[in-house]
A and B are shown apart, each in its own frame.
Chain A
Amino acid sequence: MTYIVNGRRFDREPAPGQCLRTFLRALGHFGVKKGCDAGDCGACTVWLDGVPVHSCITPAFRANGREVTTIEGLGRPGAPHPMQRQFEDAPGFQCGFCTAGMIMTSATFTKDQKADLPRALKGNLCRCTGYRAIEDAVKGVSAVETAAPGKAVGTSVGAPAGHDVVTGHAEFTMDTRIDGMLHLKVLHSPHAHARILSIDKSAALAVPGVHRVYTWEDVPRRRFTTAIHTDHLVDPDDTYILDDTVRFAGQRVAAVLADTIGAAEEGCRRLAVEYEVLPAVFDPEAAMADGAPQLHGSHDPFVRDPGHNILVELHSHIGDVDVGFAAADVIHEGTYVSPRVQHAHLETHGSIAWMQDGRLNVRTSSQSPSIAKVKLEYLFALRPDQVRVFCKRVGGGFGGKQEVIAEDLVALATLDTGRPTCFEYTREEEFTTASPRHPMSLTVKLGAKADGTLTALQVRNVSNTGAYGNHGGETLYAGGAAVMIYRCPNKKYDAYSVYTNTVPSGALRGYGMTQPAFAVESAMDELARALHIDPLELRRRNIVRPGEPLLAMHEGPDDVIFTEDGLARCIDLVGDALARTADQPHPGPEWLVGAGVASSLHETAPPTDHLSEAWVTLGDDLIYELAVGTCEFGEGTSTAHVQIAANQLGTTPSRIRLVQSDTDRTGFDTGAFASAGLFVAGNAVLRAASAVRDRILQFAAAHTGIHVVMCTMDDDGVVCGDRRVSLAELVALARRRGIRFTAARKAYGSPRSVTSNTQGFRVAVHRVTGEIRILYSVQAADAGVIINPAQVRGQVEGGVAQGIGFALTENHQVDGNGVMVNPNLRNYRIPTYADIPRTEVLLVDSADSVGPLRAKGMAECCINPVAPALANAVQDATGVRYRALPLTPERIYGRLPAEQSVSTG
């Protein structure tokens, strides 16, 4: 059969059941992405005879004799289609993984469709942007600016990879072909808790194309944690690559290595596994009770009380809460529940490994190649020089890729066979086996004087870490941020991280702070109502102010520098915005309308070790090479790093070439999480770029004989007094003397600053159906000095959108056997364009940051106030308090005040 793709003929025959997506990728069209492989996300959109289809649900043979167009054929680098240019200029992307599908869809829109984008875009999911930027792109609104030399900071320059992203040429992990590559598929446990008695491999090994079957007997017997932190001791070593006990439905039982995915799948189906099913426990309170099924032995002293499944227990007490409650005029107590939610980054996890010159190479979708490398060294007893781990562009992370859950298996297979190996998650595996947010239940008790002054603040937090302890402890500590935000002499925080037979929880944007923020900010709102005080005013009276200690759990020295009242200004801005919009049109008599607010605050880097190293080198091509280990998954640190370097070097981003996230080509970097990509790695970039600048200036000063204080960088030259020397001349002179303008600098995540925000919503709640509509959304954020205004706006919008999804549309459901009911994007509904309002983003300009150029990361904190602000608005509208998320209509309607519209005749 003959296929014509982007005008080129291919004489190739697809496999009988092959879909068009994989066929096009096999022909080298890697711009065709896999987000769901089920027709739900639209990332794989291509045209058949000019008509857009989801190529993952299109039989490949249907393209026979028809003209196929992919993103690579729509326009070319340097000569993009107008829609590609619009997406680059808006910019209408963050991680860029949905972008090809967005463009291939939008480029077909009729005038009517452009006028009805909620419907026209409902088959295209974006998890990063919150859709405003995509709407701008479709409508041709542009925000990207060009920076003048030395003026990159504060300018909305485009992402370095922008043109590649929109033309489909940005390489993601799976966008490569390696000859002789084998594929891994995993057999998952159907049971929530079971011992594996035997695994009969023979039928699987008899499948043509199957090379190996790995079980617990075939892996290094080394316990580790899948969680990524510089200090591996902050998580328990409680996990094996493959184990003889399975502790959640979905856990790996065996891995089959084969020539093709199909053969590996067949191998999995032919494995005969005998289980001894064990009693399982899903609820953390039940798991802590005497006599509950015990998940783990007592191998790791990190685990506090294995008999009661308690991984970590925290008890802190500042002052005396009993005295505080006794002194209170009003006491409020409530229990607030945040459920399990999933990152749903559009690119699933995946890794590819191969041997080269006797070294293990791993190409992976990770938020930290440096730490993934360390873990592989440990697991397989390799020297540091025997392993290289690197990332290409990463298709979204949100914390989900702060985990080593794919690299271990490809390394195992490649080290065993010497063959290249690929392991790519399915969307279902993302839901059933990758680490979601920790479900937490928090009981908050607040005491206050009649004037609103807090006298006691007590929190009991029960967190469900799932079957393993990755991130279980650190998220529990992080929860203290919700206690820290308010000044109160008497504070008590008791917290438990508990093992249960559920999918292991992990890192997710907001990291242990989002759930406590929902609880404490909801409770503060309830307290304000009990006191008859405006909720904004109650916050103003109690928030920590500069000069006061930030107290969560312990009194003592801290490393946080906090000198400006950013949070108070956020509160004022949101208060003003809600007042200014109070006369919005009412949606009608069937709707109840109300407004709500919530605030959050946290440090700009994690309390645990966070390190980054940056290298800057001026090359003979007069381009500065900036090497930094941080990877790019849409958080925008690459853009910011380039801007910071260009700023210091007096040039423009076009003169900076970024090399990133490759342990062979960059220094160590703990990883892109906890807002550290800007705050820590950004500081390393700043210092390295400044050091190179100083070297160049000193060299130029010596060369011209003009004092260095009279020398300044001037794009491709140096101005020394009234003379200008070109970089070309300086580089040539330096080269003759064996000098290179290069520098390496490290940064550490301490001291830290604080970042804060306040979210406001006005909502309408339907009296009968329980539907919630957002009428207005505003977030004010203290992001310090702004490096890139368009990116900051985009990050806040994206965080608010994700927060809206977690609060209003996403519902992770598990049946009585601990098996997820809706492990797909069709039934686990992340927000579509139609679900997300515009959010007005207001920025407070503060200058108290110790981050690079006084900037603060804000992409994490922005999600924390979203859910409580919604719940507070819903109470304001309905008079009913909902203390458990999500706020989906079927959970809302039954408690609404007397129904009026159904007459009983």
Chain B
Amino acid sequence: MDLNTITEVIRQPSEQPGMDWHEGDAWLAGGTWLYSTEQPDLRRLIDLTALRWEPLVPTDEGLEISATCTIRDLYAFAWPETWTAGTLFRKSCEAFLSSFKVWNAATVGGNICLSLPAGPMITLTVALEARYELWAPDGSVRFVDALDFVTGDHRNILAPGEILRRITIPEYALRKRTAHRRFTLTRLGRSTVFLVGTQRPGANDLLLTITAGTTRPVRIAFVPLPDARTLRQSIDAVPADVWFADPNGTPDHRQHLSRHFAEEIRRELTAGDLP
């Protein structure tokens, strides 16, 4: 929709775009959320896509994903065969409520910074133990664990003027076995719960990530692989107020589904040694 309070768009920001930040500014990437709802407090948009950050950079250390990488580019990414967790890229993209048309513009960083519980890029990057690189307005840089970035429904740790520059997924995480489960109230709807389990190749561990059903991502590490009772107790130990209530699910149902799907993931990673 038209954002009628916007008086200016910075079409060509400086390489350190935060330097010029002031009240009423918003970072613009795909714009697919920004333009989908009223933004009466905004006056200026700063177009990060003009900085032409390389979307996807595979390195020896892992995969660097620029915040402005589109969902389309991530979906089309051909990952090296050794990255067994690469299947999650597509599964996470498919978890978007939005259609492939929106993927043409929406970005990985935009989804993370929107920080909705159902943001599948949050699921992906938390499950694969990513680090986020954040640029402060003064030019300083900090790195955070993806798990610590989202703090609640539509809330995160970004300071005013701070931007998410890139997401780095470590190589060891990309080599892990994965299993995932997702539930939606309608057939291809928004996630009610989205769970991912990962396991080191040849190891007997489980790193379980619960998202969408919780106001912030929950990640629980098990070494060795837990039995069903231990797993269930761990999920039951998630504080009650973390289970999310919104039109896409109730806290009770989300907790119930998480128990069920976590157990399915546990069994899947227990059985067979297929990636």
Asked if residues A262 and B2 are in contact (CB atoms below 8 Å), the reply is yes
Q: Is A502 interfacial (CB-CB < 8 Å)? A: no
Does any Cβ of B come within 8 Å of A584's Cβ? Answer: no
B28 contact set on A, CB distance < 8 A: 59
Contact B101 A893 (CB under 8 A): no
Per DSSP, chain A at the interface is loop
> Is there contact, CB below 8 Å, between A828 and B4?
no
- Given the interface pairs A17-B45, A19-B1, A61-B9, the reply to whether A809 lies near B260 with Cβ below 8 Å is no
Q: When chains A and B are docked, how far (Å) is the Cα of A36 from the Cα of B100?
A: 18
Query: B247 in the interface, Cβ–Cβ < 8 Å?
Result: yes
Q: Which of B7, B33, B99, B263 contacts A122 (CB 8 A)?
A: B99
Contacts A889-B185, A904-B232 given; indicate if A266 touches B5 (C-beta within 8 A): yes
Contact partners of B263 in chain A: CB under 8 A? 902-903
Q: Are B185 and A809 in contact (CB under 8 A)?
A: yes
Contact with B along A759-771 (1 / 0, CB 8 A): 0000000001111
A893 CA / B183 CA spacing, docked (Å): 13
Contact of B6 with A16 in the complex, beta carbons under 8 Å: yes
A299 at the B interface (CB under 8 A): no
**Interface residues in A67-111 (C-beta closer than 8 Å to B):** 105
Q: How far is the CB of B228 from chain A (nearest CB, A)?
A: 3
List chain A residues, Cβ under 8 A from B259.
902
The smallest beta-carbon distance between B114 and chain A, in angstroms, is: 13
Contacts of A726 in B (CB 8 A): none
**Chain B residue total in the interface (Cβ 8 A):** 56
Nearest A residue to B37 by beta-carbon distance? A38
**B98 & A261 in contact (Cβ 8 Å cutoff):** no
Nearest CB of A to B30, in Å: 8
Is A122 a contact of B105 with CB atoms below 8 Å?
Answer: no
Which of A238-246, A406-414, A829-837, A841-849 faces chain B? A829-837
Chain B residues 162 to 197 lying within 8 A of chain A, measured CB to CB, are: 183, 185-190, 192
Bound form: Cα–Cα A58–B3 in Å: 11
Chain A residues, Cβ within 8 Å of B186:
808-809, 829, 831-832, 834-835
A358 CB-CB contact with B under 8 Å: no
B259 smallest CB distance to A (angstroms): 6
Tell me whether B252 and A894 are in contact (CB under 8 A).
yes
CA A113 to CA B100, docked complex, whole Å: 10
B188 touches A832 (CB 8 A): yes
**Chain A positions within 8 Å of B33 at CB level:** 57
CB distance from B94 to the nearest CB of A (A): 7
Determine whether B229 belongs to the interface, using a CB cutoff of 8 Å to chain A: yes
Query: Nearest chain-B residue to A45 (Cβ)?
Result: B101
**CB of A891, distance to nearest CB on chain B (Å):** 8
List B contacts of A266 (CB < 8 A).
4-5
Whether B99 lies near A813 (C-beta < 8 A) is: no
Q: Which of A16, A40, A57, A835 contacts B9 (CB 8 A)?
A: A16
Report yes or no: B228 in contact with A904, Cβ–Cβ below 8 A.
yes
A383 on the interface (CB 8 Å rule)? no
- The listed residue (B31, B37, B45) touching A58 by CB distance below 8 A is B31
Q: Are A18 and B2 in contact (CB under 8 A)?
A: yes
User: Given that A16-B7, A59-B31, A59-B35 are known contacts, is A904 also in contact with B100, CB under 8 Å in the complex?
Assistant: no
B105 contact set on A, CB distance < 8 A: 53, 57-58, 62
**Among the listed B9, B36, B100, which residue makes an inter-chain contact with A123, where contact means beta carbons less than 8 Å apart?**
B100
- Chain B neighbourhood of A62, CB < 8 A: 31, 105
- Among A38, A122, A809, the most chain B Cβ lie within 10 Å of the Cβ of A122
Could you tell me the distance between the alpha carbons of A890 and B258 in the complex, rounded to whole angstroms?
13
**Is there a chain A Cβ closer than 8 Å to B63's Cβ?**
no
Complexed CA–CA distance, A770 and B254 (Å): 12
What residues on B are CB-neighbors of A831 within 8 Å? 186
- Interface residue from A15, A59, A105, A889 paired with B4 (Cβ < 8 Å): A15
Interface string of A247-280 (1 = CB under 8 A from B): 0000000000000111001100100000000000
Contact flag A123-B249 (CB < 8 Å), given A52-B104, A57-B31, A829-B189: no
Report chain B residues within 8 Å CB of A56.
Answer: 1, 35-36
Please report the C-alpha to C-alpha distance between residue A105 and residue B42 in the assembled complex, in whole angstroms: 32
Residues in A324-355 with C-beta less than 8 Å from chain B: none
The 0/1 profile, CB within 8 Å of A marked 1, for residues 100-132 of chain B is 111011000000000000000000000000000
Shortest beta-carbon distance from A654 to chain B in Å: 37
A600 in the interface (beta carbon within 8 A)? no
Q: Is A57 a contact of B35 with CB atoms below 8 Å?
A: yes
Assess whether B154 is interfacial by the CB under 8 Å rule: no
C-alpha gap A888/B249 in the complex (Å) = 9
Tell me if B102 and A261 are in contact (CB < 8 A).
no
Q: Which chain A residue has the least Cβ–Cβ distance from B9?
A: A16
Q: Is the CB of B249 within 8 A of A890?
A: yes
Q: Is B250 an interface residue (CB 8 A)?
A: yes
- Chain B residues numbered 221-271 whose CB sits less than 8 Å from any CB in chain A: 227-232, 246-250, 252-253, 256-257, 259-260, 263
Q: Are B40 and A269 in touch, CB under 8 angstroms?
A: yes
A890 close to B185 (CB less than 8 A):
yes
Please, which residue of chain A has its CB at the minimum distance from the CB of B3? A17
The reply on A822 being an interface residue by CB < 8 A is yes
Pairs across A and B, CB under 8 Å, 6 listed: A17-B39, A53-B105, A61-B11, A119-B100, A123-B98, A834-B188
Task: Identify 12 new A-B residue pairs, CB closer than 8 A, beyond the known A57-B33, A118-B188, A905-B228.
Answer: A15-B2, A16-B9, A19-B3, A54-B101, A59-B35, A105-B99, A120-B99, A124-B99, A809-B185, A809-B186, A822-B247, A902-B259
State the B residues within 8 Å of A (CB).
1-9, 11, 28, 31-33, 35-37, 39-40, 42, 45, 94, 97-102, 104-105, 183, 185-190, 192, 227-232, 246-250, 252-253, 256-257, 259-260, 263
Q: Which 9 pairs, one residue from A and one from B, show the smallest C-beta to C-beta distance?
A: A123-B99, A17-B6, A262-B4, A905-B228, A17-B3, A905-B229, A890-B253, A834-B187, A37-B1
